Amino acid sequence: MKSKIISFINTNAVVWKIPIAAALSWEIAKWAGSNHPYLSPLTVILSIQMTVSKSMKFAWQRVIGTIAGVLFTAIIAPYVGLSGWSIGLLLFVGAVIVARLKLDHAMMIQVALSILLVLYFQSKMPSYPLDRIRDTVIGAAVAVLIQILIFPPDSIHKAKKKTIRFADHLSNQFDNAAKWVEHGCAANEAQTIQTELQTLFQELHQATTEAEKADQSLNYNPLAHKKRNALNQLTRQLDQLRSGYANLTDMVRIFTKWSGSSFFTKEDQRIWADHLNKIAELVKEWKKMLDDPNANAFDPSAFALHIKAPSDIENYQYPLALYTNAEQIIQDFKSPPFS
């Protein structure tokens, strides 16, 4: 029951984190003497993103952009006054400086906002520039600390779910390839296989992206030793799946070429369909360890997978594989780069 409550709180963190952080930042800003405490919760609302790394990046950009914009405007404003033309001029100069420094577009937005608001409010409320800097720093600090220390977003869970999904679809794709080979690698079905492989590649990319997000977030969390170990293990598992996908893609390409020759016999079809079915079963068993790490240890030897080159061609398997890959490279580069 306790774990379910904690899981519920963690899952709905976005619902309660922003209100708590906003209230806390307001009170800290008031305690620090701000006349414009709303700037702190405003920064909190903008800075709490879906991942720790994004929150850190946005908070940093807002703080630096705000400081730069406030200081620039405070120095120039007395000489240009307040008008549409002065606003346009300062925004233009600020944008040019940010662009020349090759800073992020988000930084340009923060600088522009600070220039506009400070230019407008400075004459009416002299404390506004200092309040804007101080309250922005307070809001950014509160947002980042709450994101890191209190139920930080768990990208590892998302990455694992996507990895499990990919592993499941990869094993299914080996099954589909086995059926395709058993039926002689029909040309009208080859395009379907290729389309399915493209979809599978997108799933692999999504799982990899989630793992990278998790890695970036953990870089800012000094208390996540266990999660770091879990992510390292998940990264190794993704590498295994990536290798499996790459080999399947290469095998499909070879089957397509082999079936176009006169040497692809019924016996070859039967043998390789059986091999692919066994590989699919191997991947399915391997995936069970992803679903439940506490399950019995994965034992690949239980499958009796004896997929080895026959003795009469064993000495030729490596040069043949190299020739196949070399031919594919030549074929890929025959087309002009702008065709």
Reading phi first (left if > 0) and then psi (alpha if -120 to 50, else beta), residue 248 is in: alpha
Per-residue pLDDT for 228 more than 50? yes
Tell me what pLDDT residue 76 has. 85
Measured distance CA(215)–CA(51) in Å, rounded? 11
- Does residue 224 contact residue 218 with C-beta atoms inside 8 Å? yes
* Residues 167, 287 contacting (CB under 8 angstroms): yes
Supply the pLDDT for residue 179: 92
Q: Could you tell me the pTM of the whole model?
A: 0.70
**What does the pLDDT read at residue 177?**
92
Q: What percent of the chain has pLDDT over 90?
A: 22
The pLDDT-based confidence of 224 (bands split at 50, 70, 90) is: low
In the structure, what pLDDT confidence band is assigned to residue 122 with cuts at 50, 70 and 90? confident
pLDDT tens profile 152-186: 777 788 888 899 999 999 999 999 999 999 988 88
Instruction: Indicate whether 280 pLDDT > 80.
Output: yes
Which residue in the block uniquely carries the two structure tokens 């709303």?
Answer: 38
Over the chain, what is the mean pLDDT? 83
pLDDT score, position 155: 73
pLDDT, residue 29, reads 92
Q: How far apart are CA 160 and CA 167, in angstroms?
A: 10
Those residues whose C-beta lies under 8 Å from the C-beta of residue 20, and which sit 6 or more positions away, are 146
Q: Could you tell me where the DSSP H helices lie in 183-265?
A: 187-218, 225-259
- Do residues 62 and 136 make contact, with C-beta atoms less than 8 angstroms apart? yes
Q: Each residue of 6-48: pLDDT tens digit?
A: 666 666 677 788 899 999 999 999 999 888 888 899 999 988 8
Cα within 13 Å of Cα(66), Cβ side = 23
Within 122-186, residue ranges assigned H as helices are 128-149, 155-182
203 — pLDDT class (breaks 50, 70, 90): very high
What confidence tier does 278 reach under pLDDT thresholds 50, 70, 90?
confident
Give pLDDT, residue 296: 57
Per CATH, which fold does 155-308 belong to? Four Helix Bundle (Hemerythrin (Met), subunit A) (1.20.120)
Q: Which region among 247-251, 257-261, 319-323 has the lowest average model confidence (pLDDT)?
A: 319-323
pLDDT range class, residue 287, cuts 50, 70, 90: confident
pLDDT value at residue 306: 66
With a cut of 80, say whether residue 242 has pLDDT above it. yes
* Whether pLDDT at 339 is above 50: no
CA distance 146 to 26: 14
Q: Which two tokens stand for residue 263?
A: 């040497």
In angstroms, the CA 272 to CA 264 distance is 11
Write the DSSP symbol of residue 334. Answer: S
Name the phi and psi angles at 59, rounded to 5.
-60, -45
- Exposure on the CB side of residue 78, measured as CA atoms within 13 A: 4
Mean pLDDT of 54-60: 86
Query: Which residue ranges make up each domain of the chain?
Result: 2-149, 155-308
Does residue 338 have a pLDDT over 90?
no
